[in-house]
C-alpha cells in the first residue's frame, strides 16, 4: 500500500442507521482503493460492528449489503479501532472481534494518526 496519507473515519452509529454505516464503509473502501491507510474509529453503538456476524444488513433498496462492504474494507487493509469505554459499557465480548478489529482508545488512535496530516470523516 502506498504511504500517501491516512484517512480516519469516526463512526458513532450502528445498525440503527444502516445507511450512515453504509456510507462510512463506502468512503473507507474508496480510500483504500486510492492507496490510503484507513482506520475507522468505532464509538457508541458502532462498536458492535467490530463483532463477528453483526454487520448483516442492507441499508436501503439498491444499497450494497453491509456484510460485503465490511469484508471489502477488511480485505483492503482497513482497520477497526474500537473504543474500549463504549465497548465495555455495553458489556460486549472482544473474543468475537473480526480479524481487523481491536480495542483502541484515544492514545492508540493518536499513535495511529502519527505526526503526518490525516483526512477525517465523521458519521
Q: What is the pLDDT of residue 4?
A: 64
End-to-end CA distance of the chain: 25
Instruction: Tell me what pLDDT residue 55 has.
Output: 85
* Cα-to-chain-centroid distance, residue 46: 8
pLDDT in tens, the chain (123 residues): 445 699 999 999 999 999 999 999 999 999 999 999 999 999 999 999 999 999 888 888 888 999 999 999 999 999 999 999 999 999 999 999 999 999 999 999 999 999 989 999 999
Beta-ladder partners of 122: 10
77: left (phi over 0), alpha (psi -120 to 50) or beta: left
- Distance, in Å, from the CA atom of 80 to the CA atom of 94, rounded to the nearest integer, reads 13
Give the domains, in start order, of the chain with CATH numbers: 6-122 (3.40.1260.10)
The pTM for the full model equals: 0.92
pLDDT score recorded for residue 18 = 93
Amino acid at each position: 500500500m502506498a504511504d500517501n496519507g491516512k484517512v480516519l473515519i469516526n463512526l458513532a452509529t450502528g445498525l440503527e442507521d444502516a445507511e450512515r454505516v453504509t456510507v462510512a464503509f463506502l468512503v473507507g473502501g474508496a480510500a483504500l482503493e486510492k492507496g490510503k491507510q484507513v482506520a475507522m474509529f468505532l464509538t457508541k453503538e458502532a462498536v458492535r460492528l467490530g463483532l463477528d456476524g453483526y454487520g448483516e444488513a442492507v441499508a436501503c433498496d439498491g444499497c450494497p449489503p453491509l456484510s460485503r462492504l465490511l469484508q471489502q474494507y477488511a480485505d483492503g487493509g482497513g482497520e477497526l479501532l474500537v473504543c474500549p469505554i463504549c465497548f465495555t459499557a455495553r458489556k460486549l465480548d472482544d473474543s468475537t472481534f473480526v480479524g481487523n478489529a481491536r480495542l483502541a482508545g484515544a492514545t492508540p488512535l493518536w499513535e495511529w494518526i502519527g505526526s503526518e496530516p490525516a483526512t477525517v470523516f465523521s458519521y
